[in-house]
Every structure is written in structure tokens, then in C-alpha cells.
Amino acid sequence: MQKSLRFIKQAKAKEVELLVFPENFLYIGPNHSFHFTIDSHSIKAIRIQAKESQLNIIGCFPIFNKGRVYNQAILIDKNGEIAATYSKIHLFKAQLNGQETYNEPENYARGFSLAHADINGWKTGMAICFDLRFPVLFRKMALQGTHLVIVPSNFTVFTGRAHWLTLLKARAIENQLYIAAPNQVGRKGATRRSFGHSCIIDPWGDVLSLKSFGEGLVMADISKGRIDSIRKQLPSVALSKEQSFLRRSNFQEGIFGREDLPIRNLSAP
């Protein structure tokens, strides 16, 4: 927690407008039953710091709500108010490299709703880690007019070396929007290591900022003009036929065949 508060102070000093922490940044460990509530002391402390620093902050927490625990990203606006929440839709289940076993569905309930927030005039969407492997989620956000998608993550070294930057660039290029992806870094227990390489990618797939080693702030200036220019030159999102496909499809599992998919449009001043 103290390290997180130091990063908030650093961000304030550098006049950052939006600070995003990695997936489950306050706790990763063997106690899979560990969780916060929306009124937990730690979340209240971050809300206080957001207001004092006049920062928009996104943190990702295991949140207990109505008898279930969700892997949830929370946007706290610069007034210290909770402006939006997103519960991870695609829960990670994998056995990697013969050593690392992950089974999020054992510990978390999945979410069902996308979430958008207006942050200083930027329509901002949220996804979490494993969501990155499901491009339809990002296309749905792009078709809703999203400018920026935040992807708090805990990609492993094994998957990160192979796929992290490739997937992030692909989602940015496909949807002609910015991606900001803070990732956990370092050893997490006896066999698990997180890849790091937090980065910000523009709508053309250019890496604007990358933290190759260790912890620290990753910063970039972003421009709606850059989005407009790319979409004007190569209007792939505007010409997309996926909106029709997404409405007509009849998937029994997942969310994308549902006409009534809720999109929460919330404002963060």
C-alpha cells in the first residue's frame, strides 16, 4: 500500500491526469480467499489520495459483493468518487510450462457487463489481463466510440514473452484506439513470475512508452487528433461489419450475442 501511495505522489508531481495500477496490485499471494469490499480501508485511502492529488486512478482488486468475489477494476475520479467499475469477464484458466497452474474460476465469479467512463473528455473502456485474448470485447468497445482502453494485467513471463506486446498492438491497431497496459512484474511465489513491460500503445500500434525492467511510472501524451487522423486515412472501424454480426449472433455462452448487453456510460470529471 505504501508503495502505491508513493506512485500516486510521483504521478501528481508529474501532472499526470490518469494513473492506472496493474491487476490485483495490492495483493497477490497464496490466500485465494483474500478480498476487499468497496468500503475497505485500502480503497478509502486511495479515494482520499485521488481527491487530494486531483488524479483519476484505476485500481484492480478482488472485490466481495453479494456473496461472490469478482476481479474488479475500479475507476476513482479526481473528486475521490467511484465513477465506474468493471468485473473481469474472461477468467484465466491454464497450465503453463508444466509448472504454473492457474484457475481463476475457482476463486472468482465472472462479470457480464462492459464499462465505459468519460475521463477528461476521453471515452475510456476497461478490460483485465486475460480479456486481452478476446478481440470481440475490444471491437465492441470501439464500436461504442471508445478512445482509450485500460488493461490492468498480471501476464506471466511464459505468456508475456510470447504474446504480451503482440496482443496489445493487435488490439490497438484493429480498433484504432490507445491501449494503456500496466502489468505486474517480478516473482510471485515459488514458481510464478510476472512479465512486466507495462506500456502505452497508440492507434497505429506504435509503443509510446515501455518499462522494460522493474517498477516505475510509464507515461505518454495522447491525442484524439492522432485517432482521428488514423481513422480518416484507414477507416477500418467505420467500415466494420461486425456490428451486424454481433447483433445477429446467437451464442449461448458469453455476452456478445445479447441485444440487451448493458454498457455503463459514466462520467469522471
Which residues are annotated as catalytic?
23, 88, 129
Tally of CB atoms within 10 A around 135: 15
Candidates 42, 45, 51; CA nearest to 12 is: 51
Ramachandran bin of 72, using left for φ above 0, alpha for ψ from -120 to 50, beta for the remaining angles: beta
Enter the C-alpha cell of residue 24.
490485483
Quickly list DSSP for 17-34. SEEEPPTTTT--SS-TT-
**14, burial (CB in 10 Å: exposed 0-12, middle 13-18, buried 19+):** exposed
Alpha-carbon distance 160 to 101, whole Å?
15
CB atoms within 10 A of CB 193: 16
Residue 156: DSSP 8-state: B
